[in-house]
Amino acid sequence: MGKAEFVQTYADIFEHSPWVPERAFARGPFADKLSLHAAFVAVVNEASEDEKLALIRAHPELGARIALTDASTAEQQGAGLKNLTEEEFSRFSALNAAYREKFGFPFVICVRRHTKSSILAAFAERLAHDSTAERETALAEIYEIAKLRLEDAKF
């Protein structure tokens, strides 16, 4: 597969960040999805701090009533975040605002590995982090999201 097709095929693995597969292309060929994921992770790890921050910021706030990518919609729906009660929506909105105010980017968690209650607990725990630790945690969650998206992909 050529570079353009490769980038188009894997563009949605990392939310609104086609630069990841674009840079990973040169590391191929890839034996399997695991080696492809490792190449994607290496690309992000080698990226500038501004690029890493842009990748984190490309993710939507949890439970927000906004248009999402197909992958984010399915993931949030699976965790029950697309059908929040008004009380739950208010709680998520307040936590999203507090988190964004403290860190300057949205709270990112691999929702497929969580429930509403465990996400709320993670919000509370992670709000206590410092900025450096939280950037690393957000990136680790993004890597897990990407891994699951790759596993699900029919490539």
| Residue 30 to residue 1: CA distance in whole angstroms | 11
State the maximum Cα–Cα separation within the chain, in Å, rounded to a whole number.
Answer: 49
* Tokens, residue 14: 């990392």
| Residue 32 to residue 51: CA distance in whole angstroms | 26
Question: How far is CA 126 from each of CA 1, 26, 122, rounded to the nearest angstrom?
Answer: 40, 35, 6
Residue with tokens 């999203």: 96
* Tokens, residue 121: 């607990």
Give start and end residues of each alpha helix (H) in the chain: 3-10, 19-24, 33-46, 49-57, 70-78, 86-103, 116-126, 131-152
Catalytic annotation, residues: 59
